[in-house]
Amino acid sequence: MTHYTVTFREDKCKGCELCISVCPKNILALRDTINIKGYHPAGVTDQDQCIGCCSCALSCPDGVIRIDAE
Ligand code: SF4
Ligand code: SF4
């Protein structure tokens, strides 16, 4: 089975939560940490549940998210 890895360029994230709202698996959330821009960046809570739909990456206005398949 294909495994997907979701990677965030955290320092570019503005915490708008768009990606979180579109994920069909509800595995994205804002992190407790603060990035260089002063926002809580988005991150993945359960990587193994990702189905690689790329909705998050396509929804992000700032190109923060990358999906890799293995
Ligand atoms: S690729 Fe799809 S399932 Fe995976 S984190 Fe993004 S929106 Fe969620
Ligand atoms: S859509 Fe992009 S900028 Fe907005 S919270 Fe998600 S990763 Fe961050």
The whole-number average pLDDT for the span 16-32 is: 98
Is the pLDDT assigned to residue 64 strictly greater than 90? Answer: yes
First to last CA, the chain: 9
53 within 8 A of 24, measured Cβ to Cβ: yes
Q: Who's near 51: CB < 8 A, 6+ residues apart?
A: 4, 24, 25
Is the pLDDT assigned to residue 15 strictly greater than 90? Answer: yes
pLDDT for the residue 1: 84
The whole-number average pLDDT for the span 32-48 is: 97
pLDDT range class, residue 20, cuts 50, 70, 90: very high
Pocket of ligand 1, beta carbon within 6 A: 6, 22-25, 27-28, 44, 50-56, 67
Closest C-alpha residue for ligand 1 atom 6: 56
Give the residue from 3, 58, 63, 50 showing the smallest Cα distance to 24: 50
Is the pLDDT assigned to residue 55 strictly greater than 90? Answer: yes
